[in-house]
Amino acid sequence: MSSVKNTDDHSIIQDLRESICDDDSILIQAESFSIFAFDILKEQIGKAKEIKLLISDENIKDFFDEDFDIPASKRLESANIALQLIELLKERKIRIKKCERIDSCFIVTKKWAYEFKKDFLNAKNFGFSADENYTDRNHKYSSDEEDYADIKKEFSELWQDRKSLEVNEKIAEGLKKCLFVSPNDAYYFLLKELFNQDVDKNTAANAVSENFQNSKIYNAMFDFQKHAAEDIINRLETLGVCFLSDSVGLGKTFTALGVIKKYLLEGTRVLVLCPKKLENNWRAFMHADKDNFLKERFDYDLLFHTDLGRKGKSWDDRDLENINWDSYGLVVIDESHNFRTGLKTDKTKHVIENRYSFLMSKVVRGEVKSKLLLLSATPVNNRFTDMKNQLELVCTDGICSSILPKGKTLRNVFNKADRDFEKWLKNPDEEKTTRSLVQVLDPVFIKILETISIARSRDHIKKFYGSNSQLNFPKRLPPVSIEKYDECMNASELYEKIAMTLLQWNLSVYSVPSYIRPEHTEKYSSFIKDISNSRIKSDPVKFKKLIRSNVLKRLESSAYSFDKTLEHIEKKTQEAISKIEAFKKNHNEETIEINDDIKIFEEDDDDIILTNQKYKIRLEHLDLDRWYDALKTDLRFIVRLRDYAHGFLVSDAKIKKLKKIIKSKIYSPNPQNGNNKKIIIFTAYSDTAHELYNKLKGFMKEKFNIETALVTGTYQETSLQTGEKMDFNKILTCFSPKSKHKDELYPKIQGEIDLLIATDCISEGQNLQDCDFLINYDIHWNPTRIIQRFGRIDRIGSVNKEIQMVNFWPCEDLNLYIQLKSRVEGRMVATDLSGTALDNPLSADSTGNDFDYRAEQIEKNIKQTALDDDEEKVLLREFTNIKNGNFEASNSFSITDFSSLGFKNEYKNYLSKIRNEKTPDTIETFPKGICTVIKNDNFPKGDIFILKERAAENEIEEKRRQYPFFPFHFVYVSDSEAKVMDSVQMLSVIREACNGNNEVNESYSESLTEAKEYLKRAEESLIEKEEDDMLIDFIDGKITDLDNNMSEDNQKKLELVSYFVLR
């Protein structure tokens, strides 16, 4: 017996090669066998007469050395090696038997016998593994030694044992399945490699209790809602916060109820904070009454946003001052964008008390560290900082350090995103896509959104859950834009006169503090301080500009609303003039009251907060002569403005245009929707809403026998005669009887409402999907309102096949002054990115234009209706434009497009299906390095390589804060380029080509030389990118030794996970 040490100087492989002779008979006994061991000995094996192999493990993956890090270049050869092995198995030159147990490992030739550890025949010991520590002492016996005979005898007995079964065909078939993989299997194998660890970890952490599984809410949820609930719970347990930003209409309330139920079953106290107008949405589930269709009680506390910091009683008669705010384990904030303003400080840096500061100090960060679930389809209002302010509610230093790279803070990341966004806004319109915005944003910003928020669009749900027949989404028809409706002969001249007059208007009645005499300013220091703390009124120039813009905005809504606003300001100005005149005459101790009475902003715009209380200023402390002259001048301007507006009031052109659109809808209802005639008209102003109701209710009843209703924040009315008082809920239920279960709630009320006129008081949280036609009579400055409005009818489970939105934009002349259209469309992209790409209702749906039949219906039915010649021309022109319409496919993208959440959940679905159907998991048998061929139209012919970088656990954890897919890299290589690609983008390309494609292509064989060349370029491209990244880190001061870092990184080994051949 001699000893052979397996070292670089003299390895077992070298010794074996020398010992195997021509026409040899080779006996191998081992637990398993490696194709790489076969490859290194294949020349000698080819010369041998026969090879007999005894193994105890027939797991195909072990043939590919899955437990060892094989260099990518060697993995690439595994298919060719396996093919050669398959041929020898078919020819039976190599015979393999499986026995029950192997106690020793050896190789026997005619001259020598080698005895090893029983797991010797693997990549590590044969020198292919990235692990270079493969030295072992092994025994070698010559053929004339007794041990040699004993080894041969042991082998012979096991080979002849009846329990030892020949597995040539089974091994060959298993190897073949690893070589020829369907695109579908290759896709799910890739998901397993990418997400298996995360999915296993989350599944273990969030094991659904039996009680929860048996709850009515759990069994009523769609799969996508269950997955969202599980993901939310995972984030709440690990981070303490989650932001659910699913599109409007996807059931965020329902998903949140599932999360709430889980915590309630565990005995956790839960608080729900919602806007007052959504009270009924949440109260319904607190009792098992008729309006709770689940008939399952949820024992949470419910309070309103306005209850925070307020004294008095809550809706259920609780003393707000006695509430133990920090006793809740879970706090759910519905419509959390209402807290977008963040903390405010005065000039001395002291925090100004408001709802936000109260929520942060008393509720979220009290003695009990509450978990916080934020719900909002529109987390961004006009700035990314809006979302940051909401996240800062609970993102403590500990949470931030767990998700942010070193040196980054939540504030500077979001502030930089805002600056990048403002810079991007200056690009030409054709370049302002979300994709181009993402290219300039810090990857850390995208990482934060993906880590903390769950944001799925309707397209996302259809993409990953589309096979579920219960997921009924209405199709969005391309939006109709109305910009030409002005029939006033001198409209351009009037708009110019109005704009010029507004510029001269001093708005003195709202600028009282500026007339306080210097010697009296100290007396009103608290008032002046309060004004200076207001971001709107602290700058008089900006304040006046804001008021002028909003007065013009009123004109865009309706001449009536514009006139009513001027009438109010005229009255207020005249009252101030009268007070001054009375004071000068009587010399009494008269005061003038200063408050927030400015009636020119949108009805529900809680952004416009000027002061927190009323103040009184003594007239004797004012420079009355100067103020009086300014007020008299303003009064003349107001009278002049009202005179200019009279021309628009007389023409009533916009109302006439609206009636024509309503007629086209009523006379040609969408047959796809069962001739649905329901219409919602939204306006930002209650004045406009009242005007529309008064002018349309008689028209609708007389022309179409349709009932009309009006809903504003403070008033409701309907033409429907029911014999009882019709409040807010009854009106909405009669308008959308199916979605709101009218037959169960109000069985005695007869009749329905088909036209609903409303302000934004119902733009959030209402299910009105019985309706299929929505008109924005004016466009809010804030694009999130447009999303919210359309979300009332664009909802999962809609009874309608198709839905339509019509937008009244300012006519061209007016838009020159308010520039509404470009502002709203630009801001919509930021909303898309942070939430979901409506999911941009201002963009035409890429699914196509189905208005052709509508135009044909108009042409067919128009002669049978009571339309006059002008109306006929308008409708024909409008629908001809639609028929030929220039509705481009949407270029919108959102955070959903850059999130791995959908892919993770798809892999979860795959695992659930395997478990439920008790079918074998095919992909579990696949080794790394598998390949499949896919067809695609996105990229030229080439390969997509998925490479895994060897890195320590702490390095992986740190790098994943900036690059979520680390240590995996996607590299696309063609004849013309080699480029490291966005992981989610490439996953989407792969998914589109692979998912559901079970066709196995056995005829394809790529040149190994070409594949190796592509792989080499892929590795070089990845190394080049890493060097570029390190250079940036060096410039930023994050690393100090550039040469050493680069040399170390260049030496990193890369492993081939799989690759896709694009054809």
Q: DSSP states of 634-689 as a string?
A: HHHHHHHHHHHHHHHHHH-HHHHHHHHHHHHHHHS--GGGTS---EEEE-S-HHHH
Confidence of residue 392 (pLDDT cuts 50, 70, 90): low
Look at residue 842 and tell me whether its pLDDT is greater than 70. Answer: no
Cis-peptide, bond into residue 810, ω within 30° of zero: no
Phi, psi (degrees; rounded to nearest 5) at 590: -75, 145
Q: What is the pLDDT of residues 715-742, one digit of tens each?
A: 999 999 988 889 888 999 999 999 888 8
Assign a CATH topology to domain 2-179: Endonuclease; Chain A (3.30.870)
**Higher-confidence position of 82 and 408:** 82
Phi, psi (degrees; rounded to nearest 5) at 441: -85, 150
CATH 3.40.50.10810: does it fit domain 215-395?
yes
Confidence of residue 796 (pLDDT cuts 50, 70, 90): confident
Determine what percent of the chain is predicted with pLDDT higher than 90. Answer: 18
What's residue 418's pLDDT? 76
Look at residue 590 and tell me whether its pLDDT is greater than 60. Answer: yes
Distance, CA of 388 to CA of 383 (rounded, Å): 9
Confidence of residue 188 (pLDDT cuts 50, 70, 90): very high
**The residue to which tokens 């002349």 are assigned:** 813
Q: What is the pLDDT of residues 558-586, one digit of tens each?
A: 889 989 989 988 999 999 999 888 888 87
What's residue 679's pLDDT? 96
268: tokens are: 């956790």
CB under 8 Å to 438, separation ≥6 — which residues? 446, 833, 893, 898
Q: What's the average model confidence in pLDDT over 892-921?
A: 74
Start-to-end CA span in the chain (Å): 57
* Angle 719-724-728 from CA coordinates, rounded to 5°: 65
Look at residue 321 and tell me whether its pLDDT is greater than 90. Answer: no
Contact indicator for 1021, 979 with CB cutoff of 8 Å: yes
Contact indicator for 774, 680 with CB cutoff of 8 Å: yes
Confidence of residue 230 (pLDDT cuts 50, 70, 90): confident
Q: What is the pLDDT of residues 398-407, one digit of tens each?
A: 556 667 777 7
Residue extent(s) of CATH 3.40.50.10810 domains in the chain: 215-395
User: What is the residue-averaged pLDDT of the chain?
Assistant: 77
> Which of 7-11, 386-390, 682-686 shows the highest mean pLDDT?
682-686
Q: What is the pLDDT of residues 975-1007, one digit of tens each?
A: 898 988 888 888 888 998 898 888 887 765 556
840: tokens are: 């941009």
Long-range contacts: 736-743, Cβ < 8 Å, 24+?
736/678, 736/767, 736/768, 736/769, 736/770, 736/771, 737/770, 738/770, 738/799, 739/767, 739/768, 739/769, 739/770, 739/795, 739/797, 739/799, 740/767, 741/290, 741/291, 741/293
CB under 8 Å to 266, separation ≥6 — which residues? none
497: tokens are: 């006169």
Closest by CA position to 355, among listed 320, 401, 315: 320
Stretch among 446-455, 485-494, 588-597 having the lowest mean pLDDT? 588-597
**The residue to which tokens 């301007």 are assigned:** 637
What's residue 804's pLDDT? 92
Look at residue 134 and tell me whether its pLDDT is greater than 50. Answer: no
Closest by CA position to 105, among listed 145, 142, 56, 144: 56
The DSSP secondary-structure symbol of 962 reads: T
Look at residue 854 and tell me whether its pLDDT is greater than 50. Answer: no
Look at residue 868 and tell me whether its pLDDT is greater than 70. Answer: no
Closest by CA position to 854, among listed 845, 846, 862: 862
561: tokens are: 């609303």
Closest by CA position to 944, among listed 911, 903, 992, 1001: 992
What's residue 255's pLDDT? 92
What's residue 22's pLDDT? 80
Distance, CA of 393 to CA of 413 (rounded, Å): 16
What's residue 841's pLDDT? 54
**The residue to which tokens 């709101």 are assigned:** 740
* Angle 89-91-95 from CA coordinates, rounded to 5°: 45
Confidence of residue 701 (pLDDT cuts 50, 70, 90): very high
DSSP E strand stretches across 800-914 = 802-808
What's residue 596's pLDDT? 47
Q: What's the average model confidence in pLDDT over 640-660?
A: 85
Look at residue 50 and tell me whether its pLDDT is greater than 60. Answer: yes
Distance, CA of 328 to CA of 368 (rounded, Å): 7
Stretch among 724-728, 777-781, 796-800, 898-902 having the lowest mean pLDDT? 898-902
Residue extent(s) of CATH 3.30.870.10 domains in the chain: 2-179
Q: What is the pLDDT of residues 999-1029, one digit of tens each?
A: 887 765 556 778 888 988 988 888 887 776 6
Q: What's the average model confidence in pLDDT over 61-82?
A: 79
- Run of H or E residues at 988: helix 983-994
Look at residue 369 and tell me whether its pLDDT is greater than 60. Answer: yes
pTM for this predicted structure: 0.68
CB under 8 Å to 513, separation ≥6 — which residues? 524, 527, 528, 531, 594, 617
- Run of H or E residues at 631: helix 624-651
Distance, CA of 1059 to CA of 183 (rounded, Å): 11
Q: Is the dihedral of CA 1016, 1017, 1018, 1020 positive or negative?
A: positive
The DSSP secondary-structure symbol of 351 reads: B
Residue 136 vs residues 63, 247, 1026: alpha-carbon distances, Å: 21, 61, 36
3-state secondary structure of 108: strand
Contact indicator for 193, 97 with CB cutoff of 8 Å: no
| Full 3-state SS string of 525-593 | HHHHHHHHCCCCCCCHHHHHHHHHHHHHHHHHHCHHHHHHHHHHHHHHHHHHHHHHHHHHHHCCCCEEE
Confidence of residue 388 (pLDDT cuts 50, 70, 90): low
Look at residue 43 and tell me whether its pLDDT is greater than 70. Answer: yes
Closest by CA position to 26, among listed 44, 53, 47, 51: 51
